[in-house]
Amino acid sequence: MNTCLLEIKNLKVRIGDKTILHGVNLTIDEGTVHVIFGPNGSGKTTLVGAIMGLPQYEVVDGDIKFKGESILSMPSYERARLGIGLAFQRPPAVKGVNLFHLLKAVKRNEDDILAAAEALNLKDYLHRDMNKGFSGGEIKRSEVLQMKLMRPTLLMLDEPESGVDFENIVLLSDIIKEMLEKKQPIVTRKRSGLIITHTGLIIEQIQADVGHVILDGRILCSGNPHEILEAIRTHGFERCVECLEKQRKR
Ligand SMILES: Nc1ncnc2c1ncn2[C@@H]1O[C@H](COP(=O)(O)OP(=O)(O)OP(=O)(O)O)[C@@H](O)[C@H]1O
Ligand SMILES: [Mg+2]
């Protein structure tokens, strides 16, 4: 049996004076890929930001354990060193820091950087300031390039396919699958994924294991990601809202 990599219990998170997550429970085992669906503003980015320890997300209750240890008191860079990585939904442009210099801080070997950039069609972007003037799809590929070189044990991707053209989605998916050791049998896989998606395109390519619907800062249901996506496509999140109301009345 695969062991637990990430365990989140009753997580409550606030931004300023607004509570966004109202008690999230989530367990991710080694070697598994989880997908999160949810309408705009439901708390998806807040969840991965809180796992990464970004300072704007204040944990007011609950716990986040990674490999059995609470990480709540650790700054983001320590969490990254432990093996948690996040490809941002909307990363900032960083003037004066070119992509190559950033990648050098992650990986010393220049040949590895060049090979990874080549694989993501980003070789010509290495000398440019990070994300400055990058198109939406280029930003997403640049985020995945950083993850490819960091090789996190828990790979979190916040809407990785948003704005990416079809050919590049196939390319991204292949690289993400490789990062998640999808070619290995599940029992020997050590890396796990937490992927936020609206389109579901990426999960069809990656073969996700578990899906979750997050609504109003709570995980409303979990199950087969393909079935959940099909239900959302057919009925929309409105049906999820009805389901939440029924659960509340019980
Ligand atoms: N700095 C902030 N101050 C106040 N509210 C905020 C702040 N940042 C985020 N929020 C609110 O928190 C809620 C959850 O935001 P979050 O980014 O987690 O949503 P999401 O599920 O990722 O949505 P999307 O699908 O649009 O990316 C939203 O209502 C958002 O407006
Ligand atoms: Mg978001």
* DSSP letter for each residue of 18-63: EEEEEEEEEEEETT-EEEEE--TTSSHHHHHHHHHT-TTSEEEEEE
Average pLDDT, integer, range 50-77 = 98
Task: Find out whether the beta carbon of 197 lies less than 6 Å from any atom of ligand 1.
Answer: no
pLDDT in tens, 88-138: 999 999 999 999 999 999 888 999 999 999 999 999 999 999 999 999 999
pLDDT band at residue 246 under the 50/70/90 scheme: confident
- Residue 47 CA, closest ligand 1 atom number: 18
Mean pLDDT (the chain) is 93
Nearest CA to ligand 1 atom 13: 41
The torsion angle over the Cα atoms of residues 145, 150, 155 and 160, rounded to 10 degrees, is: -10
The CA-atom distances, in angstroms, between 131 and each of 46, 114, 140, 168, 225 are: 22, 18, 9, 17, 31
Task: Find out whether the beta carbon of 162 lies less than 6 Å from any atom of ligand 1.
Answer: no
Q: Which has more confidence, 186 or 214? A: 214
Q: Are strands 33-37 and 58-66 parallel, antiparallel or unpaired?
A: unpaired
* 1 pLDDT higher than 70: no
Task: Find out whether the beta carbon of 89 lies less than 6 Å from any atom of ligand 1.
Answer: yes
Residues contacting 224, CB < 8 A, separation 6+: 210, 211
What's residue 2's pLDDT? 64
How far, in Å, CA of 13 to CA of 16, rounded? 10
Residue ranges of domains in the chain: 4-90+153-249
Task: Give the fold, CATH level 3, of 4-90+153-249.
Answer: Rossmann fold (3.40.50)
CB of 212 closer than 8 Å to CB of 219 = yes
Task: Find out whether the beta carbon of 40 lies less than 6 Å from any atom of ligand 1.
Answer: yes
Task: Find out whether the beta carbon of 41 lies less than 6 Å from any atom of ligand 1.
Answer: yes
pLDDT band at residue 153 under the 50/70/90 scheme: very high
* 33 pLDDT higher than 90: yes
> 3-class DSSP state for residue 222?
strand
What's residue 244's pLDDT? 75
How far, in Å, CA of 219 to CA of 217, rounded? 7
Tell which residue, 118, 158, 152, 166, has the closest CA to residue 139.
Answer: 158
Average pLDDT, integer, range 163-184 = 89
* 84 pLDDT higher than 90: yes
Q: Give 48 Cα–ligand 1 centroid separation in angstroms.
A: 12
Q: Give 46 Cα–ligand 2 centroid separation in angstroms.
A: 7
